[in-house]
Chains A and B, each alone.
Chain A
Amino acid sequence: MAKPVKTYLWLLATNLFISAFTFGGGYVVVPMIRRFFVQKKKYFEEKELMDMAAVAQSTPGAIAINLSALAGYRVGGVPGAVISCLAALIPPLAVLGVISVFYTSFITNAVVAAVLKGMQAGVAAVIVDLIIDMCAMVLKQRSAFLTAMIPAAFIANFVFGINVAIILFVSCLLCVLKVFWHHALLMRKQAKR
């Protein structure tokens, strides 16, 4: 999958940019990727972004980096994934490299604290905006089972603090059992005939 150099340069620049703005946890990367890869460049559809987000979330490591790698892979194959990953790693490396020299004065800096406190509202807005669109997509599938899984996973994690890995595993298990159950019912119907 050889791509023009321009595509790789775009991946490099975009991921550098996205990574530099990823305050407040890896989830902010999802709406950023959506903005640049889906809405602007139309490299893939929103549905595919949801697949990628699910995979990035269900595999070990940092969600932001995994998602950058997947989007890069989708656009430019393995080289695209490598470039995207490196680009996503450079901003935190550079910032932390500089800050680690004088980090005590950074932590106590009032300007930094004020900017970050203000950004919390921005992060919340960006994530809620994404959540609204993603919920609409799941609802469109008209599956009571999949719809019910959203609040179930939320409550399990937010209220009961259950480990993310366990929640994802149980969701998969339930889904497999559901498919199994459907198959079994189908078989029995056919047998009756």
Chain B
Amino acid sequence: MAWQLFITFAQIGLMSIGGGYAIIPLIGEQVVHKAGWISQQVFTDIITISQMTPGPLAVNTSTFVGIQVAGLWGAVAATTGAVLGGVVIALLLYRFFEKHRQSTYVFEILNALKSASLGLIISAGAAIMLLAFLGTSSFEPHSLMTNMNWVALVSFVLLLFLLRKWKINPMLIMLISGVSGLIFYL
């Protein structure tokens, strides 16, 4: 069973470029429909839990499914499968870029990847801002004022100011925002 988990999550890991929520349907297809390890309801719960706990979605999902199916070793097998391929490929690609930095093509490709990645990071940032300020994942201009979470907007501006002005530790920002959540939302 552990081997089966390893193989399935290795496939999921290798097929998910860019990470994040784009891979949710892919994982669901494999784990719920093909293997039938967990039900759709439990899968939806896992996604919710993944958002509530630290760590990447793929790692959290593989850990959770692994535990449910085959206990601790199932979790280790599934998680190892999910990350191993990506890490090896990332290391090889990085070494390749380091070695061939003088080549115009390699240099330009790395530049292109950097710019495109930045665009994708902005996309992820925009999605998080939508979620934080409006509580949705889609942008609706007409309900902007009514749905606006002013507490979130003001604390965002203050935290960003702290970061820009004094370069304080991002972890401190997470702690401050978590505590302010307790104060304002509980």
Residues of A within 8 A of B (CB): 17, 19-28, 30-32, 35, 39, 50-66, 69-70, 73, 78, 81, 85, 89, 91-93, 95-97, 99-100, 103-104, 106-107, 110-132, 134-135, 138, 141, 143, 146-147, 149-158, 163-165, 167-168, 171-172, 174-176, 178-179
Contact = CB atoms under 8 A, between A and B. Distances in A.
B145 interface: no
B35 interface: no
B112 A146 contact: yes
A175 B113 CA distance: 9
B20 A26 contact: yes
A119 B185 contact: no
A28 B51 CA distance: 13
Interface of B: 13-20, 22, 45, 48-49, 51-60, 63-64, 67-68, 72, 75-76, 79, 82-83, 85-87, 89-91, 93-94, 97, 104-105, 108-129, 131-133, 152-153, 155-156, 159-160, 162-164, 167, 169-171, 173-174, 176-186
Contact of B167 (A39, A78, A123, A156): A39
Contacts of A134: 118, 121
Given A73-B91, A111-B186, A118-B182, A61 B85 contact: yes
Nearest to A93: B63
Contacts, number: 355
3 nearest A-B pairs in the assembled complex, by CB-CB distance: A118-B181, A61-B86, A153-B119
Given A120-B152, A121-B152, A158-B127, A172 B113 contact: yes
A133 to B, nearest CB: 9
Contact of A62 (B54, B82, B179, B185): B82
A121 B156 contact: yes
B113 A57 contact: yes
Q: Which secondary structure characterizes the binding site on chain B?
A: helix
A107 to B, nearest CB: 6
A125 B67 contact: no
A116 B79 CA distance: 24
Contacts of A78: 91
A91 B53 CA distance: 10
B49 A103 contact: yes
A66 B90 CA distance: 6
B54 A92 contact: yes
Contacts of A69: 87, 90-91
A152 B105 CA distance: 21
Contacts of B72: 97
12 contacts: A30-B121, A32-B170, A50-B114, A58-B93, A61-B58, A118-B182, A122-B159, A128-B156, A158-B126, A168-B116, A174-B112, A175-B109
